[in-house]
Homo-oligomer: A and B are copies of this chain.
Amino acid sequence: MAPIPAAGADHRAVRDPALSGRVRPGPLRAGDRVAVVAPAGPVPADLLAAGLAVLESWGLRATPCFAAGGRDARLPYLAADDATRAAQLQRAWCDPDVDAVLCARGGYGGLRVLDHLDRDAMAAAGPTLFVGSSDTTALHAVLGPRCGLVTLFGPMIATAAVTDDPAAREGLRQALFEPPAVLHGGPDARALVGGRARGTTVGGTLSLLVSGLGVPGVPRPPDGAIALLEDVTEAPYRIDHFLTHLLRAGWFDRVAGIALGSWKDCGPPEEVRDVVLDRLGGLGVPLVEEMGFGHCRGQLTVPLGAEMELDAEATTLRAVHA
């Protein structure tokens, strides 16, 4: 694929030639500057230091945009108040000298940040590579489409996935510096419903996807979308609740394929599989379990808003090029 520079965009950003039409920022190069933000929960200082050291070992100039260990005075599950967290994110996103914005940690709080962002300003800024998962799903779902960018659902900097998981760390490094054409499912990956589907990747953490239902400015999956779904510490009946809500709201109406990630601490895997099959098995679209992204060891870094082909039997996600 010949890189097609977007108007006014960083010369390394390429416009996805297929349906989504989104720009994929990057790849990064040694010497690039990255900002680490905390849009959700507090970030322990030791994990942040270890994560920054990893980024620096890759030749990146990494700057944290917040004080490690900080907490909101009133709501201790937030790293700071909403306006402060939003300002950090927006400033880093819009800074022309910042090549990537990497989330430090999840927890909860991205949802609260959304209404404090100047989305017009963020969409007008040059393309920024944005990386995060879990709670960050709420930000991906809005900012990727709004800014016309491919974003990355992957390890967060001040978590064990970067500091203590060589496979996950290497997957992130590749996604940043030399994006692979094919992502292979984890060791337990298998097709629950066979087939292949090609479309725009959407999704992330289930409970956060639900949080966009009925909210203005949160787009539904586009026609032919490949949905990625995973979660952590949600009992099987809660996964049922979330999937049933998405189904009743029509979220799956145009989805053409589904890749499931990990269901860490969600109860016995066979019970979760029964729920998933009950809710999604009848949609008539390819369905893969244990694709290897999410809260698991060795988690993949998966692009969102990208054109990809899901091959259920091969348990692969392949970048689609024109």
Q: Please report A residues at the B interface, Cβ cutoff 8 Å.
A: 74-77, 107-108, 111-112, 114-115, 207, 210-211, 213-216, 236-238, 240-241, 244-245, 248-250, 271, 274-275, 278
Contacts and interface: CB of A to CB of B under 8 A. Distances in A.
A237 B108 contact: yes
A6 to B, nearest CB: 30
Contacts of A210: 210, 245
Contacts of A114: 248
Identical chains bound together, number: 2
A241 B211 contact: yes
Contact of A274 (B75, B241, B271): B75
Contact of A112 (B74, B115, B215, B244): B244
Given A214-B214, A215-B249, A240 B108 contact: yes
Nearest to A248: B215
Contact of A211 (B236, B237, B245): B245
18 contacts: A74-B274, A74-B278, A75-B274, A75-B275, A75-B278, A107-B237, A111-B241, A111-B244, A112-B244, A210-B210, A210-B245, A211-B241, A211-B245, A213-B213, A213-B214, A213-B249, A214-B249, A215-B248
Contacts of A236: 75, 77
Contacts of A211: 241, 244-245, 248
A111 B215 CA distance: 20
A43 to B, nearest CB: 16
